[in-house]
A and B are shown apart, each in its own frame.
Chain A
Amino acid sequence: MLRWCWPFMSSSGTSTNRGQEMALLIWPSLILAAGYGYMVTFVPHQPGWQPAYALALLLGGFWGVHLILRVTRHGGDQFLLPLAACLTALGLIFLFRLDPGLAYRQIIWTILGLLVLIVVATGFRDYQRLEQYPYFFLSLGLFFLFITVLAGTRIGGAKSWLTLGSFRMQPVEAVKVLMVMYLAGYLSDKRELLVQGAGRISWGPLLVAVALAVLLLVLQRDLGSALILLVTFLAMLYLATGKLRFCVAGGALFSLGAVMAYLAFPYLRARIAVWINPWADYTGAGYQVVQSLITLGSGGIFGTGLGLGYSQVIPAVATDFIFATMGEEMGLMGSLGIILLYLLFALRGFRAALRAPEEQGVLLAGGLTVLCTFQALVIMAGVSKLLPLTGVTLPFVSYGGSSLVISYLLLALLLNVSAAGREAKP
C-alpha cells in the first residue's frame, strides 16, 4: 500500500527512463480492459466499430505517448500521464454505458488530445519561449471570447459554442488556458512593480484584461468558467506577489461584482434559488439537481454496478453530470476515488510548480493546476449541490472534444514545467 503512495509525496527517481510512469500506466490499461470486457459482454454490437480496435487504439495511444516521452528522454513528471489516463479511461467506460456513439467520438478526441500532448511536450519543451509573448495569448483569448459572444450558439443555457458547419467547439476551454499563459508571462515580468505598488501602468492592463474576459464570459452566461478564471487569476496573483491582501481585495471586488450581477441578471437569481432549494421546483429549474442528488444517493456506498444505474434521466448527463453517473454506479467508493485522482493530480501539479527553476514556471504550473482542479471541483460540487450548479466539464472525463484536447494540452505544459525543474537540478 505504502509503496504505491509514497511516490506522490516524495521526489521521483533520477533517471529519465520513466519506469514509474510505465508501472502506473498498468492501471488505466486494466480499466480499459475491464471496459472492453463490459462492451463485448453486455452491450449489443454496434456496426461500424470493433471494440477490439477501440481498445487497441487507446492502449496504443497511451503507451505510445509513454514510449515517445521515454525515447525523447523527457524529464517530465511521471505521475501526471497515468492519472489523466485513468480519468479518461473511466470517462470512456461511462460514456460508452450512456451512449456508445459518444464514446466512439470521444476515443477520437482522446487520440487527438494525445497527439497535441506529444507535439507540445516534444516541440515546445522550452516553455519559456512560449511565454515571451503574453499579449499574443491574451489577444487570442479575447478574440475567441468576442466571436463567441457575437456568433456563438446557445446550447443548454450558456452561449458558449461556435458552430462551423457540422463541427462545434467550445472556445472557452482554450481561452482559460490562454489566459493562464498570458498571466504567467505578464505576472512574472511585472511582479516587482506590482508588489511595490509602482503604479497604474502595471495594474491597469492586468485588471482590464481579466475584467474583460470575465465580463465576456458572464455575457455568455458561462458563470462557471467566469468563476474558474477569477479564482485562477487570484491564485496566480497570490503566487506572484506573495501578498494575501491583493487576493482579499480581489475577492472583495469579486463579491461586489457577484452581488451586482445577482441584482442585474434574473437568470443568476434563478440559479441561486435552485441551489438553495431545488426541491421547490423539482419538475422545472430544479430538475437536474434533484435528479442528480437522487442519482448520487441511489448509488449508496458501493454503487449499483456498471450499467445498472438510471442516471440517463438527467439532461446533459454525458457532459456536466457524468460524475453523478459514476457516483451511482461505482458508489461512494468510486466517487471518492475520482476525487482522489484529481487531488493527486493537483499535488503533482503543485509539485511541478514548487520545483520550477524560475518564476514563469511556478506561475504557469501553479495556474494550470488551479485551473484544472478547480474546474473539477466546481462541477463535482455542483452536481452534489455543495455549490450552485454551473455547466462546466469534468476535465479529462466529460464528453467534449474541446475540453478533452485542451486538458491534454494543459497536461503537456505541466509536463514541460516539471521537466525544466528536473533539468535545472545539478
Chain B
Amino acid sequence: MKTGVRRLALATGVIFVILIVHLTYIQAIAGERLYLNPLNPRLNLVEQQTQRGAIYDRAGRVLARTVGNPGQFQRQYPYGPATALVVGYVSGRFGSSGLEASRDGDLLGLTGWQHLLNQGRRLMGQVARGNDLTLTLDAELQRLATSLLAGRRGAAVALDPRTGAVLALASSPTFDPNRLEEEWQRINSPGAGSPLLNRAIQGLYPPGSIMKLVTATAALEVDPGILQRDFYCPGYLEVQGWKLTCPRPHGHLNFQQAMMYSCNVTFATLALEAGADKFKETAALYGFDKPLKFDLPVEESRVPGRLNASALAEGAIGQGAVLATPLQMAMVTAAIANKGILMQPYLVEKVTAAGGRLLWQAVPRPLQVVTGAKVATDIKEAMVATVNGGTATAASLPGIQVAAKTGSAQNPGGEAHAWLVAFAPADEPRIAVAVVVENAGAGGVVAAPLAREILAAALRR
C-alpha cells in the first residue's frame, strides 16, 4: 500500500512536470507570437497609446504614416490603392491586413527589448513610438503596374532576380485604404471582385504554358541532348485516350522553336519522357507544394500528388490541377534569370527605430539551387528567341534584349487567363516580372504589353 502511495506521488510529479514544460512553452517561447496575434484585444489599447511606425519604399517614399496626437492618431497612405494590398490597413473597426497586420509587432514597437521600453513609456504616460519599415518595393513601379491593371482583374509581380527583392506586387481590383469607412460596403459587395484579395500572392491560377519553363528544366536535366533533337507535332497527342491539342499542327521543330511557338505536343512528350517524379521534383525545387516564408501570407502553389500519364501531360502545359500564384511564376522566371539559383523573395528591407537606429536588415540569400547554369542558359536562349520571333514579340524593348514566355491558361471561368513572364536585360537580368490578366485571352496579346511597360520603367531607373 505504501509503495502505491509513492508511485502515485511520482506520477503526480511527472504530470506536473509536463504542465510546467507546457506552460513554459506557452508563456516564454510562444508568448510573443500569441501576444502579437491580431485577435489580441490588448493590441487595440496599445494602438491608442503608440505612434505607429511609418512604412517607406526603397527610395524613402512614404507609403504609410501616422499623424495627429495620442487618442486621435490618423493613419495616412499617400500611395492609396496602389500599395493597399501590400501595406494593408489598420482600423479599429475593420481590423488590419497586409504588412500593417503581419508586421504589427515592429510597427508598434512590441518585439524584443522595444516591448519593455515602450511598456515603461506607456506606464509613465508618455507616447510610445513604433519602429519604421523600409520596403524593397519601388512605389512608382508599383503605381505603374497598378494603373496598367486598372479596370481588369489580375496581378503583376516584379522581382530583382539577383537578390529576391520584391520591386512590385500589384493586384487588381484594389481599394483605397484612406477611405475605408466609405468604401467598406462596396469593397465587400459580391460584384466588386474581391479587392481585399492580393491576387499576386493569394490568387491561384492555372499557369498555362508558363509551366513549360518547369517542364523544360526537368527535360533538359534528364537529357541535354533534346536541344539537338527534331520533334514532330501533328497538332495533337493522345495520352491514355485523352487528346491534347495544339492550336495548329506545328510540324517539324526543334526545342527552341517548340518554346517560341509554345508547342503543347512537344512539351507533353518531353514531360512523359522525363517522368512524373522528375516533373514534380523540379516543380518542388522551384517552390511548388511547400509553404513560402514571406512577409505576407502566400498561398501554396501546387502540382497534384499522383500524376498518371494524362495528368502529367496536362500538368506539363500548366493545365489540369496545376495551380500557381503569380509570385510563384515570377520566382520560376527569376531562377532562370539568375542562372538556376532561386533567391528567397523578401519585401521588408530593414526595420529602424524611431531615431533612425538600424534594428534589423534583410540579407539576400539563396532559397534553392534549382538547376545548373547550362540548363538555365539554354532555357533563357529559347525565351530570347520567343521574344525575337515567337509568341512574345509584343514584350520586346528597343535596345534591350528581353527574354519571355507567354501563356494562355484555359479555365472554367470563361476566356483564357493571359500570362506573361519575362526578364531583362537577357545577358545581365536586373528584373523579372510575371503578369496575369484574368479571362483576357492570349498572353502574347494582352499580358505582354503590360510586362513590357513594367520592364521598361524598371530598367529606366
* Residues of A in contact with B (beta carbons under 8 Å apart): 235, 238-240, 242, 282, 290-291, 293-294, 296-301, 304, 308, 310, 313, 327, 331-332, 335-336, 339, 342-343, 346-347, 350, 353-354, 359, 362, 366, 370, 373, 377, 380-381, 384-386
Stretch of B29-37, B172-180, B367-375, B445-453 contacting A (4+ beta carbons < 8 Å): B29-37
Residues of chain B lying within 8 A (CB to CB) of residue A366: 4-5, 8
Please tell me if B1 contacts chain A, counting CB pairs below 8 Å: yes
CB of B8 within 8 A of CB of A238, answer: yes
Residue of A297, A332, A336, A366 with most partner-chain B CB within 10 A: A297
CB of A301 within 8 A of CB of B8, answer: no
Q: Per a CB cutoff under 8 Å, which of A297, A310, A336, A347 touches B20?
A: A336
CB of B16 within 8 A of CB of A343, answer: yes
| CB neighbors of A among B8-49 (8 A) | 8-9, 12-13, 15-16, 18-20, 22-24, 26-28, 30-35, 37, 39-42, 45
CB of A342 within 8 A of CB of B16, answer: yes
Residues of chain A lying within 8 A (CB to CB) of residue B42: 294, 298, 310
Expressed in whole angstroms, the minimum distance between the Cβ of A189 and any Cβ of chain B is 14
Q: Which 4 A-B pairs have the closest CB atoms?
A: A297-B34, A332-B27, A350-B9, A297-B31
Q: Per a CB cutoff under 8 Å, which of B1, B26, B33, B119 touches A384?
A: B26
Bound-complex Cα distance A336 to B31 (A):
15
| CB neighbors of A among B290-329 (8 A) | none
Residues of chain B lying within 8 A (CB to CB) of residue A298: 31, 34-35, 40, 42
Bound-complex Cα distance A336 to B28 (A):
12
Not counting A339-B23, A359-B1, A377-B15, a sample of 4 additional A-B residue pairs whose C-beta atoms are within 8 angstroms of each other reads A294-B39, A300-B27, A373-B12, A386-B18
The verdict on A242 contacting B3 (CB below 8 Å), with A290-B39, A300-B35 known, is yes
Expressed in whole angstroms, the minimum distance between the Cβ of A162 and any Cβ of chain B is 32
Residues of chain A lying within 8 A (CB to CB) of residue B34: 293-294, 296-298
Bound-complex Cα distance A310 to B8 (A):
38
CB of A300 within 8 A of CB of B28, answer: yes
Residues of chain A lying within 8 A (CB to CB) of residue B229: none
Residues of chain A lying within 8 A (CB to CB) of residue B5: 239, 350, 353-354, 362, 366
| CB neighbors of A among B79-129 (8 A) | 119, 123
Please tell me if B6 contacts chain A, counting CB pairs below 8 Å: yes
Bound-complex Cα distance A380 to B26 (A):
12
CB of B16 within 8 A of CB of A297, answer: no
Residues of chain B lying within 8 A (CB to CB) of residue A384: 19, 22-23, 26
From A240, which residue of chain B is reached at the shortest CB distance? Answer: B1
Expressed in whole angstroms, the minimum distance between the Cβ of A378 and any Cβ of chain B is 10
Bound-complex Cα distance A346 to B15 (A):
12
Residues of chain B lying within 8 A (CB to CB) of residue A343: 12-13, 16
Expressed in whole angstroms, the minimum distance between the Cβ of A372 and any Cβ of chain B is 11
Bound-complex Cα distance A335 to B21 (A):
12
Expressed in whole angstroms, the minimum distance between the Cβ of A383 and any Cβ of chain B is 10
Expressed in whole angstroms, the minimum distance between the Cβ of A40 and any Cβ of chain B is 20
Number of A-B contacts (CB under 8 A): 118
Bound-complex Cα distance A335 to B20 (A):
9
Bound-complex Cα distance A325 to B4 (A):
36
Please tell me if B461 contacts chain A, counting CB pairs below 8 Å: no
The verdict on A327 contacting B8 (CB below 8 Å), with A294-B37, A297-B34, A380-B19 known, is no
Residues of chain B lying within 8 A (CB to CB) of residue A238: 4, 7-8
Residue of A343, A359, A362 with most partner-chain B CB within 10 A: A343
Expressed in whole angstroms, the minimum distance between the Cβ of B105 and any Cβ of chain A is 12
From B16, which residue of chain A is reached at the shortest CB distance? Answer: A343
From A309, which residue of chain B is reached at the shortest CB distance? Answer: B42
Residues of chain B lying within 8 A (CB to CB) of residue A308: 123
Residues of chain A lying within 8 A (CB to CB) of residue B30: 297
Bound-complex Cα distance A362 to B19 (A):
26
Please tell me if B460 contacts chain A, counting CB pairs below 8 Å: no
Please tell me if B357 contacts chain A, counting CB pairs below 8 Å: no
Bound-complex Cα distance A350 to B341 (A):
64
CB of A377 within 8 A of CB of B19, answer: yes
CB of B39 within 8 A of CB of A301, answer: no
Could you write out 22 A-B pairs with CB less than 8 Å apart? A238-B4, A238-B7, A239-B4, A291-B39, A297-B26, A297-B27, A298-B31, A298-B35, A301-B31, A308-B123, A327-B23, A331-B27, A347-B9, A350-B5, A350-B8, A350-B9, A366-B4, A370-B12, A373-B12, A377-B19, A380-B19, A385-B26
Bound-complex Cα distance A119 to B436 (A):
81
CB of A313 within 8 A of CB of B32, answer: no
CB of A370 within 8 A of CB of B8, answer: yes
From A242, which residue of chain B is reached at the shortest CB distance? Answer: B4
Please tell me if B2 contacts chain A, counting CB pairs below 8 Å: yes
Residues of chain A lying within 8 A (CB to CB) of residue B7: 238
Residues of chain B lying within 8 A (CB to CB) of residue A347: 9
From A363, which residue of chain B is reached at the shortest CB distance? Answer: B1
Residues of chain B lying within 8 A (CB to CB) of residue A293: 26, 34
Expressed in whole angstroms, the minimum distance between the Cβ of B295 and any Cβ of chain A is 21
Residues of chain B lying within 8 A (CB to CB) of residue A291: 39, 41
Bound-complex Cα distance A339 to B103 (A):
35
Bound-complex Cα distance A263 to B18 (A):
29
Residues of chain A lying within 8 A (CB to CB) of residue B12: 343, 346, 350, 370, 373
Bound-complex Cα distance A373 to B14 (A):
13
CB of B19 within 8 A of CB of A297, answer: no
